[in-house]
Amino acid sequence: MKALLLASRPKTLPAAIVPVWLATVLAYHLTGEWSLTLLLATLGATVCIQVATNLFNDAIDARKGSDTERRLGPKRVTASGLVAEKTVFIWAGIFLFLAALCAIPLIAARGWIILAIGVPSLYLSYGYTGGPVPLAYRGLGETFVFLFFGLVATAGTYFVQTGEWSAQAALLGAVVGWLSCLLIAINNLRDVEEDESTGKRTLAVRLGGRLYRRIMIMMGAHCSLAILAVWYWFDLLVGVEIAFIILSWVLLNMVVLGKKPEKLNLYLALSGGLLVLFAVLFQMVVLIANGVL
């Protein structure tokens, strides 16, 4: 069970939790209402899908030989022999089943549109690294993360909470998407040499480390513009937003200019913390704007 916990990669779970958290805060900010039941059901579904994705990734990368002894990141349980591949696949299936159960209250509340969002999400938890067109092996990992962990998760949760679609939720989802892209970008940059040697054609491999670092700068610029737009549109505290952008660029500068790949594990943890920090700050300024704090 400890090995399976390792394979679930709990440090990546903020990418599943933050968009649900922020969209619920936004729903409260714009409508004055939110549902705890729908929040918990949405969190259960997104976290289970994230865990299933990580488990499929662990098993499929081992099957394809993408995880080797050269790996700089955390140990992978299938490749290292800690857990049998079949067992990892079974547990991934269990978490997909749990995600489907969590979605039942959401379908009851909002109807077929939840199926339109949920069914592709369930498949892509496997299709990210498996299936006929594995996204991570085609250089589409960043696109997938931006769309599903940013726009879809945030706008979808807002719809679950309110029954309406919102341009503000999409804009907030863009911020979450860019911050989540930074997570996967650091991960791919760390593993670029190993991935290239094993035929895993991530975007970092396709572009090369130097150009990929420049792409990361563009990600940071887009994220900063999206953050500025969020604070301007919602008329929240400007000073908080500027401080967060400065902190983001400090971390991005360390990643882009860093020469030691082993330090990228630390930067990966910091970028996950950055995502959570944004959620905390956003909730704080919303509560201040609504007179709660």
CA-nearest of 201, 141, 139, 211 to 177 is 141
CB 57, CB 129: distance < 8 Å? yes
Q: For residue 267, what pLDDT band results from cuts at 50, 70 and 90?
A: confident
CB 169, CB 23: distance < 8 Å? yes
Read off the DSSP letter of residue 77: T
Please tell me the total number of residues recorded for the chain in this structure: 293
**What is the structure's pLDDT at 33?**
92
**What is the structure's pLDDT at 293?**
64
Question: DSSP 3-state helix, strand, coil percentages of the chain (rounded to 5)?
Answer: 80, 0, 20
Distance CA 246, CA 278 (A): 12
- pLDDT per residue over 231-243, tens digit each? 777 666 666 777 8
- DSSP per-residue letters across 83-145: S-HHHHHHHHHHHHHHHHHHHHHHHHHHTHHHHHHHHHHHHHHHHTTSSSS-GGGTT-HHHHH
**What is the structure's pLDDT at 72?**
58
Distance CA 62, CA 58 (A): 6
Does the pLDDT value for residue 42 go beyond 70?
yes
- pLDDT per residue over 166-216, tens digit each? 999 999 999 999 999 988 888 888 888 888 887 788 888 898 878 888 888
**What is the structure's pLDDT at 99?**
97
Structure tokens at 202: 């991530």
CB 149, CB 159: distance < 8 Å? no
| pLDDT greater at residue 115 or residue 68 | 115
Does the pLDDT value for residue 67 go beyond 70?
no
- One-letter amino acid for residue 45 of the chain: A
**What is the structure's pLDDT at 232?**
72
The end-to-end CA distance of the chain, in Å, is 42
**What is the structure's pLDDT at 73?**
60
Distance CA 226, CA 106 (A): 29
pTM here?
0.90
Does the pLDDT value for residue 104 go beyond 90?
yes
Task: Return the CATH class of domain 2-287.
Answer: mainly alpha
The string over 159-184, giving b where at least 16 C-beta atoms fall within 10 Å of a residue's C-beta and e elsewhere, is bbbbeeebebbbbbbbbbbbbbbbbb
